[in-house]
Amino acid sequence: MNDRIKSLKEKSLNAEPYMSSQRAELVTEYYQSDEAKGLSIPVKRAMAFKHIMENKMLCVMKGELIVGERGLFPKSTPTFPEISLHSLTDLEQLNSREKQYFIVDEKAKNIYQEKIIPYWKGKTIRDRMFRKLSDEWKLAYEAGVFTEFLEQRAPGHTVLGKHSFKKGFLDLKTEIEEAKLKLDFCNDPNAFEKKEELIAMDLAADAIINFAKRHAARIEHIIKKESNPERLAELEIMRQNCLNVPANAPSTFWEALQHYWFIHQGVITELNPWDSFNPGRLDQHLHPFYTKEIEAGTLTKERAKELLMAFWIKFNNHPAPPKMGVTLKESSTYTDFSLINLGGVKEDGSDAVNDLTYIILDVIEEMRLLQPSSMVQLSKKNPDRFIKRAIKIIKTGFGQPSIFNTDAIIQELMRQHKSLEDARNGGASGCVETGAFGNESYILTGYFNLPKVLEITLNNGFDPRTKKTIGLKTGDPSTFKSFNELMTAFQKQLNYFVEIKITGNNSIERLYSKYLPVPFLSLLINDCIKNGIDYNSGGARYNTNYIQGVGLGSITDELTALKYHLFDQRTFTFRALKKALDADFKGANKMQEQLIEETPKYGNDDNYADDQARIVFDMYFKAIDGRPNTKGGSYRINMLPTTSHMYFGSVIGASPDGRNAKQPLSEGISPVQGADRNGPTSVLKSATKIDHIKTGGTLLNQKFAPQFLSNNEGITKLAQLVRSYFKLDGHHIQFNVVTADTLKKAQAEPQKYKDLIVRVAGYSDYFVDLTEELQNEIITRTAHEDMS
């Protein structure tokens, strides 16, 4: 890393998250203008976008190679009052909260008070949404049965495809003209709407081209003051870049990065799409530019690396916009989930790993930044060198890259009726979500709290926390004669809440379609232009909605405990159990211990427990998969939590797996913390008893101590472990390499780290089982390895 990159990185790391009111001001100004009156909504949205891109303050920093900031400076983050409006109290809270804070200055507060709040109050999507949603929906939402992704952030959740690196926005404008010519105003009743949408897209294309030109002008201004000849030459190229892209297709490596970065700015400024946006298969997109320039001698490997590093820093400058309430709880992080994909297969099915893949991996290792996130797509066709290189980065312990199964992703996409080529060009974005990059709108609509549904079932439709009947009366469980009877009741409740969620989604989707079309994003995803339909109205080639199941490990262990103790072993009665749960196990310590220690658990390759995982998964799949959404596509499931397992746990009382009230649920498809006692191979076996191919993504976390990965043999064996998991159709795995810090915590709170395996001198053991002396030895050694 050279001095320039070091200094830019330092700036990025030191910058404090700051809330900028500029975008809110500009969009409000436009909505209030005379010009906006009488425009169709898509055109008004495009004009508002153009107004922002043509008037927002620009930021070009000393030493920068890639330009463009969404806010005023690094980590300055705008708000989106069209979607949800921050109140003055919210702004106070943003400024003062300990985690995920944003500095809000007095000026911003005044602007909000005087301009933003008076205009948007009652008009935001969130306001409209909550006016329309049913009482049943609100009861379930307040009880914590599910969350709503679109209450504070827009549908987005999509990734750029390879065509976008081969076209400029002038090319897209030509496509728009062609689409306009094809409109049939006699036979197509929607032709007039399509025309408005196409006009809007055309304006949005102008907006981004002008945004780039403004940067060129700004750089020209800087050039006049610059005296260093080296920097002058650079600045001149940067100025040219901003004139060439994104108006035209990029022709150099540098232009390609700047081209994407302008697009990224456009997408995340137009609205705040959930799981921001990302370039997808970066090594594939950039490789032609890289090869061409290396051969021509116009680019060196070092320069390519420097440009990539500068590009990385731009992502890190952009935290997710300020979240509040449940949205903050389900996703309490600054990360905006841009997930760079590397490796995988090409469109023709062949191994896609190339020399640039390894260069980008070097960049990831050197940068060690929170953003962007990175992942490797591992196909059976990829070489071992690739996975081993990734593991060598993982072992440095900053949680990146995660590892995905390309061959499973392709099967998942094919099951959803995507073409083979579109599937091979796809990947995963956000946390683990499968998508056909460049061709699909795949909206996550909310997390779904599976263990909460069981709690409501065990209370015959009543929610003990909100003290309201929110579910169906499926019977008093003490009268159930068999486990099947219990499962039937659970399934009824599950279907009931799924239908409430989907009904709500349908109404919310219509609101976005009507009030907040995204003509800019629609330019990027096939086939919005061809169809003349907005991304938010079903213009994309594929339109998928997801509801993300949470707490598979927890609900499996809960159901298993009920089956084992109430019906098979008859250890105790339902009434006795219910009494203990209601008392949060006070006075029932023995029962709690039996539930925790003397019950089969998910994560041990034991079918007695894992059968329940399969049953719940299949019920959840049947309840959701294949239902139509409002955009001509279908509902699908995936299994991931982000941080919602903490929130979902906090709304549930003590549970039959021995978990105390309000404690977190299991995350992703991982076992309950400490429930897996047979090591990683058993966890992987349990986790693949559900059919990953029927999902759009699952998330599995595994902890490892760095000692295991200290030599080549350990790395090889971890690679083999991953390959085995993928053979079993596992979708994703990420390794949490445990640091000395974690080990210290494990020493202090052993009950929370029962599953932590450490390896020393050829022998493996559970860390908490070791003598204090040896624990200290390992901690010291780990600390040493952390530093090296």
Instruction: Of 654, 672, 681, give the one whose Cα is nearest residue 751.
Output: 672
Distance of alpha carbon 176 from the chain centroid: 31
**Interface mask toward other proteins for 590-619; x: CB under 8 A:** ---------------x--------------
Residue at token pair 């926390």: 465
- Residue 653: CB minimum distance to other proteins, A: 34
389 neighbors 364 (Cβ within 8 angstroms): no
- Residue 736: CB minimum distance to other proteins, A: 16
Segment near other proteins (CB under 8 A); pick from 33-41, 463-471, 723-731, 736-744: 723-731
> By CB under 8 A, is residue 764 in contact with other proteins?
yes
Can you give the length of the chain in residues? 788
> By CB under 8 A, is residue 479 in contact with other proteins?
no
Q: What is the 3-state secondary structure (H, E, C) of 599-620?
A: CCCCCCCCHHHHHHHHHHHHHH
Residue choice 97, 586, 717, 752 for contact with other proteins (CB under 8 A): 717
- Residue 563: CB minimum distance to other proteins, A: 21
> By CB under 8 A, is residue 773 in contact with other proteins?
yes
Is 224 buried (19+), middle (13-18) or exposed (0-12) by CB count in 10 A? Answer: exposed
> By CB under 8 A, is residue 727 in contact with other proteins?
yes
Name the DSSP letter for residue 335: -
Segment near other proteins (CB under 8 A); pick from 299-307, 318-326, 506-514, 680-688: 680-688
**Comparison of 14 and 771: residue with beta carbon closer to other proteins:** 771
Residue 529 backbone dihedrals phi, psi, to 5 degrees: -65, -50
The Cα 280–Cα 418 span in angstroms is: 18
48 neighbors 31 (Cβ within 8 angstroms): yes
- Residue 170: CB minimum distance to other proteins, A: 50
Segment near other proteins (CB under 8 A); pick from 138-146, 209-217, 303-311, 677-685: 677-685
> By CB under 8 A, is residue 230 in contact with other proteins?
no
Q: Which two tokens stand for residue 221?
A: 């201004």
Segment near other proteins (CB under 8 A); pick from 409-417, 532-540, 719-727, 745-753: 719-727
559 neighbors 612 (Cβ within 8 angstroms): yes
Residue 114 backbone dihedrals phi, psi, to 5 degrees: -85, -35
**Comparison of 455 and 605: residue with beta carbon closer to other proteins:** 605
Instruction: Of 397, 383, 433, give the one whose Cα is nearest residue 413.
Output: 433
- Residue 720: CB minimum distance to other proteins, A: 4
Q: Which two tokens stand for residue 459?
A: 């209370």
The Cα 99–Cα 294 span in angstroms is: 45
Cα-based distances in Å from 750 to 219, 604, 767: 57, 20, 9
- Count the site residues for other proteins by CB under 8 A: 27
Residue choice 721, 733, 737, 746 for contact with other proteins (CB under 8 A): 721
Bond from prior residue into 401 cis (ω within 30 degrees of 0): yes
The Cα 104–Cα 95 span in angstroms is: 5
> By CB under 8 A, is residue 240 in contact with other proteins?
no
Question: 46-66: b or e for each residue (b if 16 or more CB lie within 10 Å)?
Answer: bbbbbbbbeebeebbeeebbb
- Residue 195: CB minimum distance to other proteins, A: 57
**Interface mask toward other proteins for 696-715; x: CB under 8 A:** -----------------xx-
Q: Which two tokens stand for residue 3?
A: 């001095």
- Residue 681: CB minimum distance to other proteins, A: 5
> By CB under 8 A, is residue 723 in contact with other proteins?
yes
> By CB under 8 A, is residue 771 in contact with other proteins?
yes
- Residue 217: CB minimum distance to other proteins, A: 58
Determine the 3-state secondary structure of 152 from DSSP.
coil
Residue 634 backbone dihedrals phi, psi, to 5 degrees: -130, 160
> By CB under 8 A, is residue 693 in contact with other proteins?
no
Residue choice 774, 776, 783, 786 for contact with other proteins (CB under 8 A): 774
Q: Among positive and negative, which fits the CA dihedral 141, 144, 150, 152?
A: positive
> By CB under 8 A, is residue 680 in contact with other proteins?
yes
Q: Catalytic amino acids?
A: 431, 433
**Comparison of 524 and 675: residue with beta carbon closer to other proteins:** 675
Chain residues 744-763 in contact with other proteins, contact rule CB under 8 A: 760-763
68 neighbors 262 (Cβ within 8 angstroms): yes
Segment near other proteins (CB under 8 A); pick from 89-97, 156-164, 433-441, 675-683: 675-683
Residue choice 44, 281, 685, 689 for contact with other proteins (CB under 8 A): 685
Name the DSSP letter for residue 767: G
Name the DSSP letter for residue 345: B
> By CB under 8 A, is residue 171 in contact with other proteins?
no
Segment near other proteins (CB under 8 A); pick from 79-87, 206-214, 327-335, 676-684: 676-684
Residue choice 720, 749, 751, 752 for contact with other proteins (CB under 8 A): 720
732 neighbors 697 (Cβ within 8 angstroms): yes
Cα-based distances in Å from 517 to 23, 511, 755: 17, 9, 48
**Comparison of 173 and 685: residue with beta carbon closer to other proteins:** 685
**Comparison of 240 and 724: residue with beta carbon closer to other proteins:** 724
**Comparison of 67 and 705: residue with beta carbon closer to other proteins:** 705
Q: Terminus-to-terminus CA distance in the chain, angstroms?
A: 17
Residues in contact with other proteins by CB under 8 A are 605, 678-682, 685, 713-714, 717, 720-721, 723-724, 727-728, 760-765, 769-771, 773-774
